Amino acid sequence: MAEMRSRVSDIAEFPMRLQAYMAKCGVGSRRASEELIRSGRVMVNNQVVREMGVKVGPDDIVQVDMETIELADRLWYIALNKPRGYVCTNFDPNEEKYARDLIDIRESHMLFNVGRLDKDSNGLIIFTNDGDFANRMMHPRYEVEKEYIVKLDRPVAIDDLRRALDGVFIDQPRPYRIKRYDLMPRTRDFVRVTLVEGKNREIRKIFSYLGYDVKSLTRIRVGCVELDELMPGEWRTLTREEVSGLLTGKGNSKGDGRRRRPAARRDGDGSGD
């Protein structure tokens, strides 16, 4: 299977902004690295740094939470089929099952998830140690689609799906909305839903607001990357074409989502209970 891996040291250019350096070390996206800096958890040469304009060179020592970080030898882009019951966060004292632990590579401790799936959901999630890649993937401007199969407690009404397309106001000033939907053949208990932004527990909140109970939620696609035959707990590296496609918007659906297209149901879709 083709792997998308590059030597970070070969493409690093110094001096480099601290948050960019942290991202290339696999700490997280640039945005997440900036939050670590602001919170006083980052040191450069034994001095706490809280400003964004600091630059570092190849001989500087950078520490996060007192642990020295270094440029990764490889860049990894990994698709994982997260089973239900696993969390995407890399540390939570109240949890025991971490999705990242399912990826058995030597550098797994440097991986972080791009976006997230909640504990009760399953399906496709991407892990990487490339902060720049993660930053672009998560930025709303790039509108990377995420497609899900949702199993509901009862047949869904078309009017409710249209309301979800228009957007519903629940617990914040900005509306929750879906980009498109596709009804499953022979049943309306299952529906395919596509999102762009993907706010926290957005699908569950939308259907709960509309009076439904989500029985299972399976992510089957992120941009041009599909879950396909990947079994729960299995992972694979992305191809160069997939990484490039994620960054260029390849695989995003066309249209405004208001035309209902029947979609062929695959064995096992939505069976994340």
Is residue 122 predicted with pLDDT exceeding 80? yes
Is residue 232 predicted with pLDDT exceeding 90? yes
Average pLDDT score over residue span 124-147 = 87
The per-residue DSSP string of 92-161 comes to -TT---BGGGG--STTGGG-EEES---TT-EEEEEEES-HHHHHHHH-GGG---EEEEEEESSPPPHHHH
Given this model, what pLDDT does residue 8 score? 52
Is residue 53 predicted with pLDDT exceeding 50? yes
Give pLDDT tens digits for 63-81: 999 989 888 778 899 999 9
* Percentage of the chain exceeding pLDDT 70: 88
Is residue 263 predicted with pLDDT exceeding 70? no
Which positions ≥6 away from 19 have C-beta within 8 Å?
A: 30, 33, 34, 37, 52
72: its two tokens: 């990764």
Out of 51-55, 97-101, 184-188, pick the least confident: 184-188
Grade residue 269 by pLDDT with cuts at 50, 70 and 90. very low
Grade residue 143 by pLDDT with cuts at 50, 70 and 90. confident
Query: Taking the model in full, what pTM does it have?
Result: 0.76
Domains in the chain, CATH or no CATH each: 8-69 (3.10.290.10), 145-229 (3.30.70.1560)
Look at 182 and 71; give whichever has higher pLDDT.
182
Average pLDDT score over residue span 87-92 = 82
Given this model, what pLDDT does residue 168 score? 95
User: What gap in Å lies between CA 193 and CA 119, rounded to an integer?
Assistant: 19
Give pLDDT tens digits for 190-212: 999 999 876 788 999 999 999 99
Q: Are strands 214-222 and 122-128 parallel, antiparallel or unpaired?
A: parallel
Out of 94-108, 183-197, 235-249, pick the least confident: 183-197
Which residue among 118, 120, 132, 189 is the active-site one? 118
- Reply yes or no on whether 118 is catalytic: yes
Query: What is the average pLDDT score of the chain?
Result: 85
User: What gap in Å lies between CA 17 and CA 26, rounded to an integer?
Assistant: 15
